Chains A and B, each alone.
Chain A
């Protein structure tokens, strides 16, 4: 076996964008982290095969999303301790998940290799390998932070993944016929190639690089574009993503403040989709649209902002809700859930169009939630809609019933460091990525289930 020095999927040299390199210098936190990690790399070498991620493992998952037909889930592993040479995107077969869960719930069938933890007897713990589709995953850079899907039609999907370590927006296509992700001509467990990593803007002689710290991502299938928030510098990036073509990074626009941007989502898919972008540093929600001027590349158009000042902060001046961590639209864009850390709150907004043709953007419900919330998703599975908030510090998911002003309907322990979730409404399940214990928790969200809002299946896990 040939022993070669480790090559990280996240490039450290000239392949990094110029802006990213500058931002790394500015960020002492990241600088020290990289220095420490670099020291570790220098101190020893390992073979390529030794550092290639195990295709049967989930490790430091940071994002999860579900195909629109609820057939598969895509799980992003961030490789946050740099044990491996890359992160991954893996594919979970949800039919298998549902089958195992159903058998477990109905007659407590424990498949081979699975077990029942003594401290959680209603949970079935299984190796994730049994649920991952063989040969379907791909490798990406390190420190991926999110994932979104763009519907290409015919069951085909495009996944876009912000990768903080590159930084890049790495994209790959899913074909249900081959049941595999594609982002390279490589075989096996391929690393996405440079053509699938958007690292600089197109259309420039001296192209600016992708701004640093890509964080949140949203894809508009009808509008055929995607937008990315950046956790530093108050920038939103735009990706032109024609369904029949190749995505390209076409615009990066500042909101005018040097703040970290976090959650981002579109109100209603289509040409006039109004994009809402949150920040971790301010209580404002910034609005954008995507313009497609004739003869020029698409660009982001600022639509102003509004304040999230309907919830209390305990200050004399009343409400200011900032450190926003997620946004999800419902009812065709007429409502939205915002999740904040300061104060910890889940807010439901009326985002329907008012008589003047612009969204009302008025809070209609608010609920105190856990500290260190990381994401929100929502689903209706038969007993009214519920919002699900992942609580990183508490290891919980808060289940919020937004009706009647909002109330916490249940809390459930899902594992250490829950960081993202995705609902599978047709199967009555919620998938929760537990960052700190390398697992994917499957929560039963069927309201008719005796174990509703409990973890019924855990895939993977290091403890």
Chain B
């Protein structure tokens, strides 16, 4: 045996793969909790003896007193019957979090707050973090100790008497019973006891539980605690394909809900035949796996129902429970698609509609919903009271503008022909969440924080709270009782359909109905210069979103001075402008702007839900198909400059990328591929090993190419023409992994969009092209004709049906820099010898003859998919809104309504309001005013995508006759755009989901507390590398629906 020194051992502690720290031994208050349950403890008058005792009691005893609970709201001084005289200060809420990896629960408690505790001056009190105490389960061991309860407890709930907590233990296939009285007393009496489970006949039930839910049998307040837990507890057994109804007093299954292989549920007896999964074990048979439960007792209508989610079947199951808590009837709703359900929440019976606060029981249509976290990353909604069907939460609001019956919105049936189309790109009928986060858990609760004006933090009605994997808990409106339930024509901003429809993520925006009206000297005025709303006085300073969506400034046109004089920017297409009639002045306003006429602004932003909180949009002529930031901080459309192989043969050239990105990138035939080579300013950094960035001495463009260092003696000569060219090619065929390219001819950018008619026309337009660079008025312009020649002829690889002005030549010097003369035409890149491009090549992808629309959040939207052969084709099922290009010509529009979506883009005739130069007659000298307001009829290209509806006016320009911008040049269909010319704007005050509390590490559950508060269970490790200070592995976060901005963190 060889000796090993302690010194060496110390060395190896850090030698293993970056292990740089060791765990400090600590006792944690929380350790990866996954579920939470509640208890009510305090003074109670025994109804049998009349004595006052300190005891656990039914949750209703605290709930009735508690602020925030619906019961409290209806009777502000409520105290349980027979319990009069007991102060709130004598009552405590207990909260117990179950922690499977350590087999423990951690208990916290706080004094109950009710209205009697309210400070008159400050109003209703709310809990603070100091109000809660995290209990130490063993005072004799230093630190805060959790209470050991069993092996891998995965769920916890409270029995109906309120005296016992029960955990379902996946590690031992049983329940643990926690005596709440002993938790508080900390005496010598046992706190935790094992409750083995059996079938109805007494056989051991040793299946592994996945969920637990307790019935509420309305236990009387004032009764002594029973020795054993009472009531029916439902336990989900996924590998037994059943949910058992367990009598908590005996541990015996007294009934069950059994799932067939297809997910069909039936009510059965308690004689379950389950595989043993603890101790000796049996093989598991595949089948439907129920894994989530929720029970809601609705005192208003006297029902109690159980919802069940099956993890691997597209169905939600609702069981109506009898007064005994046993299952009575079962119903199911099929969900769309091949999904499973990983969590469920059941609502109370809701009276839909109303805008004056919680209105259950008032006139209106009642409904009840199951919200189900589905495996496709959405939350599905099913109406289970009347319709028993899945609801489509993704109906495009464009189709609902004229619907005035709010009942039609309660549950728009999935698959019903009467249900309008979904939003473009919707994955399913379910509620979708922005970004890559997936929903983890859902809870539903009611709140009654009435507000006359809609405010995002004022919750009145019924809401779902969805915890997402990225740490946020998002609020979903089920029935917002502070706001109208249909679009109100007189107040369309405040009642935008995405804000009022059921089953929509709640909006965070304040003062959504803000307009550019203001009051001055008792007179209402309109400020057409306003770019954003003035925040109303009641909007908190912390508000991130105020008013409706709008551009934060006028759209800007960006262009190259080498292609267009700055004095002639008017010749470029522009965003359509409307007239804002202001109090002081009437001015043209772009349709994107805050001060655009209301109907215009509403039409520009047809679905506020689709808009991000803030997004930059750019429309770039022949732009790149990706705007991902070059610093790598964004990954929407792939790199702007990619890397692939070039395959040369058969007279053609192809770009091959084994990662098959081309259909995803949205490449279309005629698009432009540029082989980028390398930037000599960066040395060899962009080249592979053994290569160097070589710039040919004959090159007139500053682009190098990566060539093997050992072939620099031969390749520069062999590849000369390739190396000195722009290396720009036209796509003729697009497969997911291969683009077939052809040489691209140099063309005149002012070629009419409807095609040229003669060589002479091309030569004339070449002069016009040159004149566009001159700042002079035409009358003063002495620009010489360019020394380039053009022929009007077809271009097979660009616009086969139209003649184009193609640059012609007899030698290279008759072509532009970087282009070469081949067969009488100037071309932008040649097919080289294979050796010239044998290594990896950097390349980019650009659209041809169109503006590329790219949003900083949306990316480049397009309808292309790969067919079975890998060819990039338009998805026949794609929404017509999935469009990312704006050409200069388009088919005529077929209507003006919000649902007239095809063709898209389309061409329309439209009135454009603008300021034009006001010249003195017969001169190009401006008048004193300088400009004049005109309305002219012009041609526009209407473009619609899921977020925007815009019209770009003047895709072509007629030219000027005498003075700049006199538009009297008489040219027809002549464009002025050039590569990389763009129109850009930023949309602000878009949609921002309303969240509860702040972001946490990793939510594992969200639970509705008896007092209406929402508890988010954070199983995550917030400080995984911090071993010295706070050592937190999980926490509980309590958020009150009355104050969703604040949160109490128990750590």
B934 at the interface (CB under 8 A from A): no
Closest to B439 in A: A405
Asked whether any CB of chain A lies closer than 8 Å to the CB of B22, the reply is yes
The smallest beta-carbon distance between B210 and chain A, in angstroms, is 7
Determine if A313 and B283 form an interchain contact, defined as CB atoms under 8 angstroms apart: no
Option from B170, B342, B710, B866 in Cβ contact (under 8 Å) with A356: B866
Chain A, residues 305-320, CB within 8 Å of chain B (1/0): the string is 1110111111111110
On whether the beta carbons of A303 and B632 are closer than 8 Å, the reply is no
State whether the Cβ of B281 lies closer than 8 Å to any Cβ in chain A. Answer: yes
Interfacial chain A residues near B70, Cβ < 8 Å: none
Q: Is the beta-carbon distance between A419 and B2 smaller than 8 angstroms?
A: no
CA distance A192 to B132 in the complex (A): 64
A105 CB to closest chain B CB (Å) equals 11
A42 to chain B, nearest CB (A): 14
Q: Please measure, in the bound complex, the distance between the C-alpha atom of A341 and the C-alpha atom of B1004, giving whole angstroms.
A: 18
**Known A-B contacts A201-B689, A318-B470; A304 and B638 likewise in contact (beta carbons under 8 Å):** yes
Min CB distance A122 to B, Å, is: 12
Q: Please measure, in the bound complex, the distance between the C-alpha atom of A299 and the C-alpha atom of B690, giving whole angstroms.
A: 12
Q: How many A-B residue pairs have CB under 8 A?
A: 298
Q: Does A363 sit at the interface, judged by CB under 8 A?
A: yes
Contacts of A452 in B (CB 8 A): 281
Contact of B342 among A310, A345, A363, A405 (CB under 8 A): A405
Contact code string B840-883 (vs A, CB < 8 Å = 1, else 0): 10000000000000000000000011100010000100000000
CB-based contact B284/A383 at 8 Å: yes
Task: Determine the distance from Cα of A40 to Cα of B5 in the docked complex, in whole angstroms.
Answer: 10
Whether A357 and B22, one on each chain, are in contact in the complex, defined by CB atoms closer than 8 angstroms, is no
User: What 1/0 mask marks residues of chain B from 425 to 439 whose CB sits below 8 Å from any chain A CB?
Assistant: 000000000011110
A405 adjacent to B865 (CB under 8 Å): no
A345 and B642 alpha carbons, distance in the complex (Å): 31
Does the CB pair B736–A404 fall under 8 Å?
no
Q: For residue A155, give the distance in angstroms from its CB to the closest CB of chain B.
A: 30
Report yes or no: B283 in contact with A343, Cβ–Cβ below 8 A. Answer: no
Produce 1/0 per residue, B1010-1028, CB < 8 A to A: 0000000001111011000
> Does A358 lie within 8 Å of B284, measured CB to CB?
no
A424 to B22, CA, bound (A): 30
B663 partner residues in chain A, CB cutoff 8 A: 356-358
**CA distance in complex: A367, B150 (Å):** 21
- Distance between B863 CB and nearest chain A CB, rounded to angstroms: 10
| Chain B residue, CB-CB nearest to A348 | B438
**Chain A residues within an 8 Å CB radius of B154:** 407
A296 B635 Cβ-Cβ under 8 A:
no
Determine whether the beta carbon of A299 is less than 8 Å from that of B840.
yes
For residue B348, CB closer than 8 A to chain A, the reply is no
- Specify which chain B residues have a CB less than 8 angstroms from the CB of A203 in the assembled complex: 690
Report how far A267 CA is from B564 CA in the complex, Å: 49
Check if A113 is an interface residue, CB within 8 A of chain B: no
Question: A83 touching B645 by the CB < 8 A rule?
Answer: no
Taking CB as reference atom, which chain A residue is nearest B12?
Answer: A80
Interface residues of B in 278-299 (CB under 8 A from A): 279-284, 289, 291-292
Q: Is the CB of B839 within 8 A of A362?
A: no
Verify if A461 is at the interface (C-beta below 8 Å from B).
no
Identity of the chain A residue whose Cβ is nearest the Cβ of B239 in the assembled complex: A383
Q: Is there contact, CB below 8 Å, between B999 and A316? A: yes
- Given known A33-B15, A312-B1003, A404-B292, contact A364–B8 (CB-CB < 8 A): no
Contacts of B764 in A (CB 8 A): none
Stretch from A6-14, A168-176, A368-376 that touches the partner:
A368-376
Q: CB-defined interface of B709-746 with A at 8 Å, one 1/0 digit per residue?
A: 01000000000000000000000000011000000000
A251 contacts the other chain (CB 8 A): yes
**Cβ A404 vs Cβ B436 within 8 A:** no
A188 at the interface (CB under 8 A from B): no
A337 interface residue, CB < 8 Å from B? no
CA distance A436 to B661 in the complex (A): 45
Kindly state the separation between the CA atoms of A260 and B643 in the bound complex, as whole angstroms: 22
Q: Which B residues touch A37, using CB under 8 A? A: 11
Interface size, chain B (Cβ < 8 Å): 102
Contact A355-B436, Cβ < 8 Å, known A251-B688, A312-B1003, A411-B101 = no
Contact A310 B436 (CB under 8 A): yes
Q: Contacts A301-B645, A311-B470, A314-B1001: A374 and B17 contacting too (C-beta < 8 A)?
A: yes
Q: Is B1000 an interface residue (CB 8 A)?
A: yes
A414 at the A/B interface (Cβ < 8 Å)?
A: no
Complex interface bits, B368-394 against A, C-beta within 8 A gives 1, otherwise 0 = 000001010100000000000000000
Which residue on A lies nearest to B862, using beta carbons?
A356
Structural contact, B16 and A435, CB atoms closer than 8 A: yes
Q: Within 8 Å of chain B (Cβ to Cβ): is A295?
A: yes
B989 interface residue (CB < 8 Å to A): no
The reply to whether the CB of A215 lies closer than 8 angstroms to some CB of chain B is yes
Tell me, rounded to whole Å, the shortest Cβ–Cβ distance linking B747 to chain A: 30
Chain A residues positioned under 8 Å from B292 (CB to CB): 404
Interface-lining segment among B487-495, B523-531, B652-660: B652-660
Residues from chain B with a CB closer than 8 A to the CB of A441 are none
Nearest-CB residue, chain B, relative to A60: B12
How far, in whole Å, are A37 and B1022 apart by their CA atoms in the complex? Answer: 37
Q: In the complex the two chains form, is A403's CB within 8 Å of B289's CB? A: yes
A115 is an interface residue with CB less than 8 A from chain B: no
Whether B950 is near chain A, meaning CB under 8 Å from some CB there, is no
Q: Which of A36, A80, A398, A409 contacts B170 (CB 8 A)?
A: A409
Docked-complex contact A392 and B311, CB < 8 angstroms: no
Q: Is B998 an interface residue (CB 8 A)?
A: yes
Binds B, one of A66-74, A92-100, A128-136, A443-451: A443-451
Let me know if B999 and A310 touch, CB within 8 A: no
The answer to whether B4 has its CB under 8 Å from any CB of chain A is: yes
Nearest Cβ in chain B — how far from A52, in angstroms? Answer: 10
Is B838 interfacial (CB-CB < 8 Å)?
A: yes
Contact between chains at B469 and A312 (CB < 8 Å): yes
Cα–Cα distance between A51 and B602 once the two chains are bound (Å) = 81
Question: A368 contacts B32, CB within 8 Å?
Answer: yes
The answer to whether A204 and B690 touch across the interface, beta carbons within 8 angstroms, is yes
**0/1 string, B1-26, CB within 8 A of A gives 1:** 01011011101111111110111000
With both beta carbons as reference points, the residue of chain A lying nearest to B1004 in the complex is identified as A368
Do the beta carbons of B12 and A312 come within 8 Å of each other? no
Contact A447 B284, CB 8 Å, known A289-B658, A296-B839:
yes
Given contacts A81-B8, A271-B658, A305-B632, contact A405 B1022 (CB under 8 A): no
Residue of A nearest to B340 (CB): A404
Q: Is A186 in the interface zone, CB < 8 Å from B? A: no
In the complex, the answer to whether B279 meets A272 with C-beta atoms within 8 Å is: no
In the assembled complex, B450 has its CB within 8 A of some CB on chain A:
no
Flag whether A393 is at the interface (Cβ < 8 A).
yes
Given contacts A83-B2, A345-B1002, A404-B311, contact A293 B17 (CB under 8 A): no
| In the complex, the 9 A-B pairs of residues with the closest C-beta atoms, listed nearest first | A312-B471, A303-B659, A319-B470, A289-B658, A357-B736, A81-B8, A356-B664, A357-B866, A318-B470
Identify 9 residue pairs between A and B in the complex whose beta-carbon atoms are under 8 Å apart, listed by A's number: A80-B12, A81-B9, A309-B470, A311-B1002, A313-B1001, A343-B1021, A357-B866, A405-B342, A405-B440
* Other 19 A-B pairs with CB < 8 A, given A82-B8, A343-B1002, A372-B21: A80-B16, A201-B689, A204-B690, A256-B632, A257-B632, A301-B840, A309-B470, A311-B471, A314-B1001, A314-B1020, A314-B1022, A356-B866, A368-B32, A368-B1021, A404-B289, A404-B311, A408-B100, A448-B281, A450-B279
Residues of chain A having any CB pair with chain B under 8 Å: 29, 33, 36-37, 40, 50, 54, 60, 62, 78, 80-84, 143, 145, 201, 203-205, 208, 215, 231, 251-253, 256-257, 260, 271-272, 274, 280, 284, 287, 289-291, 293-296, 299, 301-307, 309-319, 341-345, 354-358, 362-366, 368, 371-372, 374, 382-384, 392-394, 398, 403-405, 407-411, 417, 419, 435-436, 447-450, 452
Which residues of B line the A interface, CB within 8 A? Answer: 2, 4-5, 7-9, 11-19, 21-23, 32, 34, 100-101, 152, 154, 170-171, 210, 238-239, 277, 279-284, 289, 291-292, 311-312, 340, 342-343, 373, 375, 377, 435-438, 440, 468-472, 632, 635, 638-639, 642-645, 656-661, 663-664, 688-690, 710, 736-737, 834, 838-840, 864-866, 870, 875, 998-1004, 1019-1022, 1024-1025, 1034
